[in-house]
Amino acid sequence: MKLESIERIDVRPVNKKESRPLYAKRKKIHPKRATGNFRKVKWVVMAVTLAIYYLTPWIRWDRGANAPDQAVLIDLPAQRFYFFFVEIWPQEFYYLTGLLILAAFGLFLITSVAGRVWCGYSCPQTVWTDLFVTVERFVEGDRGARIRLDGAPWTAKKIGKRAIKHALWLSIAMLTGGAWVFYFADAPTLAVDLVSLDAPLIGYMSIAVLTGTTYLLAGFAREQLCIYMCPWPRIQGALLDENSLAVTYHRNRGEARGPYRKGGAWEGRGHCVDCNQCVAACPMGIDIRDGQQLECITCALCIDACNTVMDRVGLPSGLISYDTLANAEAPPDTPRRPYRLLRPRTIIYTALLALVAAIMAATLFTRSSLDVNLLRDRNPLFVVLSDGSIRNGYTLKILNKDHSVHQLTLRVDGLAAAAVTVLGSDDTLVLTAAPDRVASYRVFVSTPRSDLTSASTSVTFVLTDMAKAVEVRQPTTFRGPGK
């Protein structure tokens, strides 16, 4: 067989000097301090979010004599989650699912409206990294001073600055870990125990782990976490449309870019003076003039940096600004399209958010303060007593979510001649449920064999709250030998 048109393939060994490494060493980013409206917003958001995180465990909330007075508490030994007036029990874990769904839809909505503003302003990684950079700037100076210090030899001055910086970083990281454990125990009590070394070992271990992770992620990983570890940059692209806001460089105004001398003419050139201040201010180290990029967290610090330069050269601000993707990608002569907040996806996200919130609120405010769980004995299914009657055993659990004692009367419907006894109780069949506790009782129901028409009879346990006259009905079955 004759082969035609065979392409020659070069199979020579690759020269190691010409091969490119698969791993590129990280280039450290030294973001320059920006001043402007968006930087002020970031300061406010940082202060508010850090205050919420550090101060929340110290807020008190009076729930009565039989409950903890910490406003937000995850009480693992008691299996409770307290959030101000809300108390969540283990069997109500679906509320946490609802909160996660609300957070997801809220994040979807804000992303479709204004891009990755969560990442740029309130993500914990962003907030703590910004705090660490602020400390670094305070100790070592702004961008130029930090770059020079990195390249300087190790002198006593450099060692001293680095030691102060890392000591402050570790202090912040330790406070971060310490604040987290206060959510799982009474904060004032645990604080005294931690200082006196009387706290549980798990407390010190948790603080150590969170101190280390905060120190490493905010001090060293920084933008690497957002680029390589966080999945959100990959997901958020599916949530944007052409009307979503994003930090945008207006190429039709800025190009062709080039240096500018004071008093020079602007005819025949763009407004971008190629000063690279937008790049220097970016905590991710990207150039927004290259277009939309995965690394951009929409912090808008490049907008502040560019507006400062525009003011200096006497040009209007907004060369870099929040704008829609449709306007950013439109031809130069196309009229600017107004921003549309109400769009199909924003309406759908808002409706889903409202629906889930309404369902959670309805179930929360209409839930009963008493829950009853009834388990019938399965081994044996029934017992034949000496007089020939049939007896079934049940385990009755009464969940009292109130912080006061409840007394309930018990009766069983469905068997005309049923006799009910409660182990350890008198004949009055009054059951007591302690406040914020689960009361467990062994209940025996017996009836003459002649009353049973089948092997399984439907019965109902009826518990009546003596104070509130509220009935809780729990259906079950009574088993017997049948006819």
For residue 398, which of 461, 477, 307 has the smallest C-alpha distance? Answer: 461
Token duo for residue 100: 């996660």
Angle at 158 between CA 153 and CA 159, to 5 degrees: 110
In a domain, 280, yes or no: no
Token duo for residue 78: 């008691």
Element holding 364 (H helix, E strand): helix 344-366
- Of 178, 207, 236, the last residue of a domain is 236
CA R_g for the chain: 34
How do the pLDDT tens digits run along the chain, 483 residues long? 444 443 444 444 545 555 666 667 778 899 999 999 999 999 999 999 999 999 999 999 988 777 889 999 999 888 889 999 888 888 888 888 899 999 999 999 999 988 889 999 999 999 999 999 999 999 999 999 999 999 999 999 999 999 999 999 999 999 999 999 999 999 999 999 999 999 999 999 999 999 999 999 999 999 999 988 988 888 887 888 888 888 999 988 888 888 888 888 888 888 999 999 999 999 999 999 998 888 899 999 999 999 999 999 989 999 999 998 788 777 767 777 888 888 889 999 999 999 999 999 998 888 877 888 899 998 889 999 988 899 999 999 998 888 888 888 898 998 888 899 998 776 678 888 888 888 899 999 999 988 888 889 999 999 988 877 778 889 999 998 876
First to last CA, the chain: 89
For residue 422, which of 389, 444, 439, 448 has the smallest C-alpha distance? Answer: 444
Rounded distance between C-alpha atoms, residue 469 and residue 462, angstroms = 12
In a domain, 437, yes or no: yes
In a domain, 84, yes or no: yes
For residue 164, which of 195, 194, 141 has the smallest C-alpha distance? Answer: 141
In a domain, 325, yes or no: no
Rounded distance between C-alpha atoms, residue 96 and residue 6, angstroms = 64
Counted domains in the chain? 2
Element holding 207 (H helix, E strand): helix 201-216
Rounded distance between C-alpha atoms, residue 322 and residue 36, angstroms = 14
| Contact between 139 and 271 (Cβ < 8 Å) | no
Element holding 371 (H helix, E strand): strand 370-376
Q: Residue 20: its pLDDT value, please?
A: 63
In a domain, 456, yes or no: yes
In a domain, 27, yes or no: no
In a domain, 352, yes or no: no
Q: Residue 15: its pLDDT value, please?
A: 52
HSE-CB for 74 with a 13 A CA cutoff = 8
Q: Residue 483: its pLDDT value, please?
A: 65
Instruction: Output phi, psi for 163, to 5 deg.
Output: -65, -45
Rounded distance between C-alpha atoms, residue 243 and residue 237, angstroms = 13
- Of 193, 210, 236, the last residue of a domain is 236
Angle at 218 between CA 215 and CA 222, to 5 degrees: 135
Q: Residue 1: its pLDDT value, please?
A: 41
One-letter amino acid identity for 448?
A: P
One-letter amino acid identity for 227?
A: I
DSSP letter at 123 equals -
One domain for residues 231 and 376: no
Angle at 31 between CA 27 and CA 34, to 5 degrees: 165
Q: Which domain holds residue 376?
A: 370-479
| Contact between 289 and 249 (Cβ < 8 Å) | yes
In a domain, 348, yes or no: no
Q: Residue 477: its pLDDT value, please?
A: 92
Q: Residue 3: its pLDDT value, please?
A: 42
Q: Residue 364: its pLDDT value, please?
A: 86
- Of 205, 236, 267, the last residue of a domain is 236
For residue 436, which of 465, 407, 397, 400 has the smallest C-alpha distance? Answer: 400
Q: Residue 306: its pLDDT value, please?
A: 95
What is the CATH classification number for the domain harbouring 443? 2.60.40.10
